[in-house]
Amino acid sequence: MAIEQALTPSITAPEAFVHVRIIIGIVLGLCISRVLIGSASLVQHPHRKKTCFTHIAWVAYALLSVVHFWWLEFNLRTIQVWNFETYLFIIFFAALHFLLCAMLFPEHMQEYASYHDYFISRRRWFFGLLITIQLADVYDTVLKGWDHFYNYGAEYPLAVAIIVGLSIIAMVTRKAWFHAWFAALALLYAITFSLRHFSTLG
């Protein structure tokens, strides 16, 4: 065993980070592909299934969330020791984004009259995933260091709490006005967050 350990070269944190980035890139590439192909189909076949503002807004939000995730995961480079649990969590976190994107564009729509009908029928799954992503993001932010967590001040935990709270309501209600309002609010916040915090990478 001692000889085997001696012959095994040690892996530095930067090398481990590059390795982790590969799997993240694969999953997020699938996310972007799913959203772009789905969005293109809406343009190519606008009369096949009616869409609505709520669906379009969440599509834009999901795409922006994937971009946010990829941008912010660069801060994982600060982790000095990588273990399998952390590696598994990052894959899980990335997979949550893919599932969210997949929920917006199902493979078949024959059962539904419109994307609005589909979205409302699957709202519990969609907002359940959104809640899970928000909670996972808190752990992910702490994983990058408490300095990174406190960098956003009270805004970050407050925003997470509001999104989780509104998502719980959205899981229960079918009211179109609430879903449209929530989608618009979430998308607007995601855009303003990007403009205020994403000036330079890292």
pTM for this prediction: 0.84
pLDDT tens per residue across all 202 residues of the chain = 444 444 345 566 667 777 777 888 888 888 989 898 888 888 877 667 788 899 999 999 999 999 888 887 777 777 777 788 888 898 999 999 999 999 999 888 788 888 889 999 999 999 999 999 999 999 988 887 777 778 878 888 999 999 999 999 999 999 999 999 999 999 999 999 888 877 655 5
User: Which residues 6+ apart lie within 8 Å of 55 measured at CB?
Assistant: 104, 115, 116, 119
CA 136, CA 139: separation in Å to the nearest integer? 5
Which residue do the tokens 């024959």 mark? 110
Nearest to 55 by CA among 186, 150, 179, 195: 179
Nearest to 81 by CA among 7, 11, 23: 11
